[in-house]
Homo-oligomer: A and B are copies of this chain.
Amino acid sequence: MGKTVALKTSNRKEQILEIATRLFHEKGYNATSMRHLAEQMGMEAASLYNHISGKDELLQQICFGMATHYNGHMETVENEIIRPIERVEKLVRFHIEMMLTHFEEVYVTNRDWKHLKEPLLGNFLQQRKAYEKRFAQLIQQAIDAGEIKEVHPHAAVLTILSAVRGIEFWQRNPRNISAPQLEEDMVRILLQGLQKA
């Protein structure tokens, strides 16, 4: 019986996190009230605090979950035995696919990490900075190998990350370009450029 209760609590917590992710995405962290979240859960606002410590915790779960996910993938790519430029392309594709498959979590993390509180805010920024550095190093290796043009590695990382992030503005309607097509076009523009040779 104790086990049942524990499981139920755990599921409840996950449910809250799922709905919070959706609401944060729709309205933003600040504009999402605990009362609205509770309403969507079919309970009173006060009852939420039996499952979570506060609004903060929900944002933390989302942001640090994403950070762990990205770091894990970076590790994998670094350990693959492939050409540097293939590593870069894999990273670009991974970022695009994360935008497509984990849209809400990525979106919320990108926009709302600023509302994390210290010392978690500092921790998060440190992780992101370290991630971008590893990304830039892979680009530098591709430059050294003569596979990529001699651009500033950090400018390249910035261009890639922000271009990909722009997928959040992409209109997902049937009359528009499809997801796989968007991925191919974006990878092509970033690697081969718009201009015809």
Whether the pair A185, B156 counts as a contact (CB closer than 8 A) is yes
Interface centre among A147, A177, A194 (most CB of B within 10 A): A194
The count of chain A contact residues (Cβ–Cβ below 8 Å) is: 43
Are the C-beta atoms of B151 and A196 separated by less than 8 Å?
Answer: no
Contacts of A85 in B (CB 8 A): 195
Q: Given A30-B28, A31-B30, A194-B190, A161–B152 Cβ distance below 8 Å?
A: no
Task: Verify A176–B154 contact, CB threshold 8 A.
Answer: yes
Determine chain A's interface SS by DSSP, over half rule: helix
Q: Is the CB of B155 within 8 A of A161?
A: no
A167-187 interface code vs B (CB 8 A; 1 in, 0 out): 101100000110001100110
Interface on A for B, CB 8 Å cutoff? 28, 30-31, 85, 88, 111, 139, 146-149, 151-152, 154-156, 158-159, 161-167, 169-170, 176-177, 181-182, 185-186, 188-197
A-B contact pairs, 7 of them (CB 8 A): A30-B31, A154-B177, A155-B185, A155-B186, A159-B166, A162-B162, A162-B166
